[in-house]
Amino acid sequence: MKGKTMRKTRIELFMMLDRVNKTLNTQLDLNNAPIYGGWQLTNKEGSKIVKHRVPIREMLSFLDGMSVGVSINNHESIRKDKL
């Protein structure tokens, strides 16, 4: 992945991380070390690993899954409240 595509994907990744952090009211962080396998999701201090190093597209999918899962969970909670 080169140039504009890489930058666009990187921006998407950090936007998705921001969405997850706001949704979960948490402070997760990403770091990249291509020599060790790519992107890693940790707590803000970096002392706890949430997701081990993976390529950028896989991390994007992982964060998207977290966001969708929380959204579905919230939707189910609202439905149960109405019953």
pLDDT given for residue 3 in this prediction:
56
CA dist., res. 26 & res. 18, Å (int): 10
- Six token digits for residue 23: 């949704």
pLDDT given for residue 82 in this prediction:
56
Q: Which residues of the chain carry a pLDDT beneath 50? A: none
Residue linked to tokens 């998705």: 16
Please enumerate in sequence order all residues whose Cβ is within 8 A of that of 6, keeping only pairs 6 or more positions apart, or say none: 56
